[in-house]
């Protein structure tokens, strides 16, 4: 019988001690439940469920919603070692901008302005 979690330990102790008893039964049952892979996987959740997933809002015009990502740790080519990836969620159009890891926030804003 699988019963997991803190309450599960007590339930398991109750079930075992209905028919058996020995010195240290509670300690051994606790160790068994903590070491049981299946007991640990079947634990009751203590946090609230996240709720239903909702789809993202559909953009109404180009460049209203964008995603920004970096491709890093690239070998140096023409002085650049990073690629800034800008993707428009409306049209799925992407811009790939070569830059360096030393680029500042102001520099990234200028790259966005100049390439989008």
Mean pLDDT for the chain overall:
83
Same domain, 34 and 71: no
Same domain, 77 and 43: no
Same domain, 7 and 27: yes
Q: Tell me what percent of the residues of the chain surpass a pLDDT of 70.
A: 89
pTM above 0.75, yes or no: no
Classify 110 as helix, strand or coil: helix
Res 9: pLDDT: 67
Instruction: Tell me how many domains the chain contains.
Output: 2
Evaluate whether residue 59 is within a structural domain. Answer: no
DSSP state of 80: B
Q: What domain range includes position 12?
A: 1-54
pLDDT, mean of residues 53-75 = 88
For the stretch 74-100, pLDDT in tens is 999 999 999 999 999 898 899 999 999
Same domain, 71 and 26: no
């Amino acid at each position: 019988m699988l019963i997991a979690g803190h309450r599960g330990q007590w339930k398991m102790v109750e079930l075992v001690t209905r028919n058996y008893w020995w010195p240290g039964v509670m300690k051994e049952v606790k160790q068994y439940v903590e070491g049981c892979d299946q007991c640990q996987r079947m634990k009751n959740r203590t946090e609230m469920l996240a709720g239903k997933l909702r789809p993202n809002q559909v953009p109404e015009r180009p460049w209203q919603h964008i995603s920004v990502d970096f491709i890093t740790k690239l070998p140096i080519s023409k002085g650049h070692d990073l690629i800034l990836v800008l993707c428009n969620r409306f049209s799925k159009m992407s811009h790939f901008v070569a830059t360096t890891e030393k680029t500042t926030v102001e520099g990234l804003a200028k790259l966005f302005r100049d390439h989008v």
